[in-house]
Amino acid sequence: SPLMSVVRHTVVTLPTPVNISTWWNFGSLLGVCLAIQIFSGLVLSLHFTAHTDLSFYVVIQSFGDVYYNWWFRALHANGASFFFIGLYLHIARGMYYGSYVFKEVWSVGVVILLLVMASAFLGYVLPWGQMSFWGATVITSLFSALPVIGSDVVIWLWGGFSVDNATLTRFFGLHFLLPFTVAGLAGLHLFFLHDQGSSNPLGVSSDFNKVVFHHYYVLKDLVGACFFVGPLLALVYFNPWLLGDPENFIEGNPLVTPHHIQPEWYFLFAYAILRAVPNKLGGVVALGVAVLILLYMPFSPRTSIKGLSFYPWGKVMFFSLIGVFILLTWAGAKPVEEPYVVVSQVLSFLYFSYFLLIGPLTRIQDK
């Protein structure tokens, strides 16, 4: 049948470079994460009420009254963290090995990243804890920095004049729908990937040196999934709230502001860049560019060899960027005071400098 033919060409007879490494496993691992998130989210949605007076208590009550609801919530919450770990490593691999030269694949991937970030933010608001409520208030208020239409956009997002029941209802609806959109785009991502072929660590054409996907890489992906899902289940069973914020176990209260409002750890790098700019509109622009700058990568100066494997100074810059990303995550969790503001500004400058300098630097080495 046509359907089985598509499956056969996707996971059985697909020609795959013989020399790709474990770093290429993260594409399939992200598919596993997406399936886990959709399944656990569907189960949780059966016992959730999108109302400001009820949602917090429904979530708490479900722990004891609904069989294994605590497990699904812990799996969903920690699965989001593992999803972003896989996303960031997948993007880092693409940047290091030059996968961004496949413009269609890379562009769809960046759109998927944006939608996953939006879905994670919307989902974080649903339990209606203190950090959920104030996080929604702070992030949506950023749109007020837009010239002329800013205030109207914020009221439209809220569905009123403050973050309230209308906001929670529409956030729940969007959070439910976005993962299915991500799944559709993931299919498009795979279509372009299979049309153009995978890259490889050497950055050279591998058309003459390929093997079929099954069983060589099916088994490798299964082993990778075990090593990835194992720590996730260990976290769910032994310390399920390790990555959560204690403030979110308090019901959202618009009259009491937390001492330090911060998003989940996977948004902290962008949050640090936002706070590094003293101007509100400038901070919002920097926040958006911090992610959208990935769309510039396919149009950066081309090198003789794809990737940074044979560019020593390019490797130094890349691993420096990894360090900058980790330090930005650390700075985003700190209060808005000295010396953290200055540190965030320096790190933000280094973050954007990488994308502007890596192309010319490798071109110089080519010459």
Which residues are designated catalytic?
194, 198, 220-221, 264
Identify the residue whose tokens are 């049948």: 1
* Cβ contacts of 222 within 8 Å, gap of 6 or more: none
3-state secondary structure of 210: strand
**Which phi and psi angles does 124 have, rounded to 5°?**
-65, -25
Measured between alpha carbons, how far apart are the two ends of the chain, in Å?
52
- Lookup: tokens for 83: 């999803």
Q: Residue 107 corresponds to which tokens in the numbers above? A: 């562009």
Q: How far is 248 from 129, CA to CA, in rounded Å?
A: 4
Cα 145 to Cα 285: distance, rounded to the nearest angstrom: 10
- DSSP string covering 252-292, please? --TT---SS----GGGHHHHHHHHHSSSHHHHHHHHHHHHH
Task: Count other Cβ atoms within 10 Å, centred on residue 147.
Answer: 6
Other C-beta atoms closer than 10 Å to the C-beta of 301 total 12
State how far the Cα of 183 lies from the Cα of 324, in Å rounded to an integer.
31
Residue 90 assigned ligand-binding role: yes
Element of type H or E holding 167: helix 165-196
> Using an 8 Å Cβ cutoff, are 213 and 119 in contact?
no
Is there a binding annotation on residue 194?
yes
Q: Is residue 76 a known part of a binding site?
A: yes
Q: At 262, give phi and psi (nearest 5°).
A: -150, 150
Residue ranges for the binding site for heme b?
76, 90, 175, 189
